[in-house]
Amino acid sequence: LGKKHGCTPAQLALAWVLQQGKDVVPIPRTTKIKNLDQNLGALAVKLSEEDLREISAAVPVD
């Protein structure tokens, strides 16, 4: 999915969290500006419902 959306695994994970609802907020920690910039790139990743289901199935929360 990262290749499909042109993003890193970290951006994909953050994008997934961002799309879990308005009451769920990721709090990534970083000490480097380049990592902060990379994290901000997750805001541009738009996952489809199918993408969200695929990620949720691959990494079940239960």
**Which DSSP state fits 41?**
G
Helical H runs in the chain?
2-5, 9-18, 33-40, 49-58
pTM score, whole prediction: 0.83
pLDDT of residue 40: 94
Domains in the chain: boundaries: 2-58
pLDDT of residue 5: 93
Query: Which of the residues in the chain have pLDDT under 70?
Result: none
Residue 8 phi/psi, 5-degree rounding, is -80, 165
pLDDT of residue 61: 75
pLDDT of residue 6: 93
